[in-house]
Structure 1
Amino acid sequence: MSRIPDIDAFEERAAIAEYDGGLSRSEAENLAARAQGFAGADAYWQWLADYVVDRRMPN
Protein backbone atom coordinates (compact mmCIF):
# COMPACT_ATOMS: atom_id res chain seq x y z
CA MET A 1 0.00 0.00 0.00
CA SER A 2 1.44 3.36 -0.95
CA ARG A 3 -0.52 5.65 1.34
CA ILE A 4 -0.77 5.99 5.08
CA PRO A 5 -4.05 4.62 6.44
CA ASP A 6 -6.54 7.11 7.85
CA ILE A 7 -6.79 6.04 11.50
CA ASP A 8 -9.65 8.41 12.31
CA ALA A 9 -11.74 7.14 9.39
CA PHE A 10 -10.95 3.55 10.36
CA GLU A 11 -12.06 4.05 13.96
CA GLU A 12 -15.19 5.95 12.96
CA ARG A 13 -16.27 3.40 10.35
CA ALA A 14 -15.61 0.50 12.74
CA ALA A 15 -17.58 2.16 15.55
CA ILE A 16 -20.56 2.89 13.30
CA ALA A 17 -20.54 -0.65 11.91
CA GLU A 18 -20.33 -2.10 15.40
CA TYR A 19 -22.92 0.01 17.18
CA ASP A 20 -25.34 0.93 14.40
CA GLY A 21 -24.75 -2.08 12.18
CA GLY A 22 -24.74 -4.69 14.92
CA LEU A 23 -21.42 -6.22 13.88
CA SER A 24 -18.92 -7.63 16.33
CA ARG A 25 -15.84 -5.45 16.89
CA SER A 26 -13.76 -7.88 14.85
CA GLU A 27 -16.20 -7.82 11.92
CA ALA A 28 -16.45 -4.03 12.12
CA GLU A 29 -12.67 -3.58 12.06
CA ASN A 30 -12.37 -5.95 9.10
CA LEU A 31 -14.98 -3.89 7.25
CA ALA A 32 -13.18 -0.63 8.05
CA ALA A 33 -9.82 -2.06 6.99
CA ARG A 34 -11.22 -3.33 3.67
CA ALA A 35 -12.68 0.12 3.02
CA GLN A 36 -9.10 1.42 3.02
CA GLY A 37 -7.80 -1.29 0.71
CA PHE A 38 -6.49 -3.81 3.24
CA ALA A 39 -7.36 -7.51 3.28
CA GLY A 40 -8.66 -7.16 6.82
CA ALA A 41 -7.95 -5.72 10.25
CA ASP A 42 -4.89 -7.90 10.83
CA ALA A 43 -3.23 -6.51 7.69
CA TYR A 44 -4.24 -2.97 8.67
CA TRP A 45 -2.76 -3.22 12.19
CA GLN A 46 0.37 -4.96 10.87
CA TRP A 47 0.95 -2.13 8.37
CA LEU A 48 0.69 0.42 11.17
CA ALA A 49 3.00 -1.60 13.45
CA ASP A 50 5.60 -1.89 10.70
CA TYR A 51 5.32 1.83 10.02
CA VAL A 52 5.93 2.71 13.67
CA VAL A 53 8.84 0.29 14.08
CA ASP A 54 10.59 1.07 10.78
CA ARG A 55 9.74 4.80 10.71
CA ARG A 56 8.93 4.51 7.02
CA MET A 57 6.09 3.25 4.89
CA PRO A 58 6.09 -0.55 4.52
CA ASN A 59 6.22 -2.14 1.08
Structure 2
Amino acid sequence: MTVPPDIEAFEERAAIAEFDGGLSRADAEDVAAQAQGFANSDRYWQWLADYVVNRRYP
Protein backbone atom coordinates (compact mmCIF):
# COMPACT_ATOMS: atom_id res chain seq x y z
CA MET A 1 0.00 0.00 0.00
CA THR A 2 1.55 3.28 -1.09
CA VAL A 3 -1.32 5.71 -0.50
CA PRO A 4 -3.29 6.35 2.67
CA PRO A 5 -6.40 4.22 2.96
CA ASP A 6 -9.77 5.92 2.69
CA ILE A 7 -11.00 5.97 6.29
CA GLU A 8 -14.49 7.19 5.39
CA ALA A 9 -14.95 4.41 2.83
CA PHE A 10 -13.64 1.88 5.36
CA GLU A 11 -16.12 2.98 8.03
CA GLU A 12 -19.04 3.09 5.60
CA ARG A 13 -18.33 -0.35 4.13
CA ALA A 14 -17.85 -1.85 7.61
CA ALA A 15 -21.15 -0.37 8.80
CA ILE A 16 -23.02 -1.71 5.78
CA ALA A 17 -21.46 -5.16 6.15
CA GLU A 18 -22.31 -5.19 9.85
CA PHE A 19 -25.88 -3.93 9.74
CA ASP A 20 -27.10 -5.02 6.32
CA GLY A 21 -24.89 -8.08 6.01
CA GLY A 22 -25.36 -9.32 9.56
CA LEU A 23 -21.62 -9.65 10.21
CA SER A 24 -19.93 -9.04 13.54
CA ARG A 25 -18.07 -5.74 13.73
CA ALA A 26 -14.72 -7.55 13.53
CA ASP A 27 -15.75 -9.48 10.41
CA ALA A 28 -17.24 -6.36 8.86
CA GLU A 29 -13.98 -4.47 9.40
CA ASP A 30 -12.07 -7.33 7.77
CA VAL A 31 -14.33 -7.04 4.72
CA ALA A 32 -13.80 -3.27 4.60
CA ALA A 33 -10.03 -3.65 4.94
CA GLN A 34 -9.91 -6.28 2.20
CA ALA A 35 -11.81 -3.94 -0.10
CA GLN A 36 -8.86 -1.55 0.19
CA GLY A 37 -6.22 -4.21 -0.43
CA PHE A 38 -5.34 -5.21 3.13
CA ALA A 39 -5.31 -8.81 4.35
CA ASN A 40 -7.51 -7.93 7.34
CA SER A 41 -8.46 -5.08 9.66
CA ASP A 42 -5.43 -5.64 11.90
CA ARG A 43 -3.15 -4.87 8.94
CA TYR A 44 -5.30 -1.87 8.05
CA TRP A 45 -5.11 -0.36 11.56
CA GLN A 46 -1.39 -1.15 11.84
CA TRP A 47 -0.73 0.67 8.55
CA LEU A 48 -2.60 3.72 9.83
CA ALA A 49 -0.79 3.64 13.18
CA ASP A 50 2.60 3.43 11.46
CA TYR A 51 1.63 6.31 9.20
CA VAL A 52 0.59 8.51 12.13
CA VAL A 53 3.68 7.72 14.20
CA ASN A 54 6.22 8.03 11.38
CA ARG A 55 4.45 10.75 9.35
CA ARG A 56 5.24 8.91 6.15
CA TYR A 57 3.94 5.95 4.21
CA PRO A 58 5.05 2.67 5.74
Note the residue ranges of structure 2 that are not aligned, 5 or more in a row: none
Q: Report what 1:37 is aligned to.
A: 37
Note the residue ranges of structure 1 that are not aligned, 5 or more in a row: none
Q: Does 1:10 align with 2:45?
A: no
Q: Shift of the alpha carbon at 1:24?
A: 0.2
Write the letter of the residue equivalent to 1:6.
D
Aligned length: 58
Q: Report what 2:25 is aligned to.
A: 25
SS for the counterpart of 2:16 is helix
TM-score, normalised via structure 1 length = 0.97
Write the letter of the residue equivalent to 2:22.
G
In structure 1, C-alpha distance between the alignment counterparts of 2:51 and 2:4, rounded to whole Å = 9
